[in-house]
Amino acid sequence: MGRLAGRVVLVSGAAGGQGTVTARRLVEEGARVVLGDIRPETKELADELGASALAVTLDVREPDAWEAAVARAVERWGKLDGLVNNAGVLHQAPLEETTVEDYRRVVDVNQLGVFLGMRAVVPALREAGGGTVVNIASVNATQGVPLLAAYCASKYAVLGMTKVAALELGRDSIRVNAVLPGVVSTDMTASMPERIARHLLDQVPAGRFGAPEEVAALTVFLTSGESSYCSGGSFVVDGGWTAG
């Protein structure tokens, strides 16, 4: 019997990188998972995970898409117990070369998407008697990084929203936490210029980048009853990068 047996969890950005690894771990721990994404690979992942998974088309920038995803979860399994707000995009450019369109694209996915997701799941979590929200932020929510103005801004906002939601929803037995990964080996980080990757690696005491599985393990913990007294927290998984 897994740590998440009987729980129903919605994961955004489930069709690639961190989201896929997280979805697999949730299923391994006994959860039934709603896989939300706009990419066609979502259906392939659902087929791989079998009866414990449901693929839904989810553009996190669209309120109606969130409402539909929650409705599908409740229709399929009778409830929704948790959300992993994982969808995210990265834009790298100097501040003066970042266009308004670039900035809005990052904020719409990373910031607005998190807000819409939390707002959409609250009624279902209340109906289930409580639940969990895990917002995937970044250590860039605590420090500036050159070339990442839009990304850092969006992740700082995620931390603020996490704290507000934890304060507002605690009496409903809804816990809200943020996971702050450092540099993790995914498709997103693979797009970094080599000189930037080397520079970042030099700053990590662990001497390596993180693995998606390590972030997923923390997400599972915060979704499970083992973290029952954790809410409003920011949990860093970065190999010691921000310790100094």
- What is the sign of the dihedral through the CA atoms of 157, 144, 88 and 108? positive
Active-site annotation holder among 103, 151, 156, 229: 151
In Å, the largest CA–CA distance within the chain is 53
- Active-site residue flag, 151: yes
Bridge partners of 37? 57
| Plot region of 49 (φ>0 → left; ψ -120 to 50 → alpha; else → beta) | alpha
**Contact call for residues 133 and 121 (beta carbons, < 8 A):** yes
Block residue for tokens 């066609």: 40
**Contact call for residues 52 and 76 (beta carbons, < 8 A):** no
Residue 42: other Cβ atoms inside 10 A: 25
> How far is CA 152 from each of CA 19, 141, 238, rounded to the nearest angstrom?
20, 6, 16
Q: Which helix (H) or strand (E) holds 221?
A: helix 212-223
**Contact call for residues 161 and 137 (beta carbons, < 8 A):** no
Which residues are catalytic, by number? 151
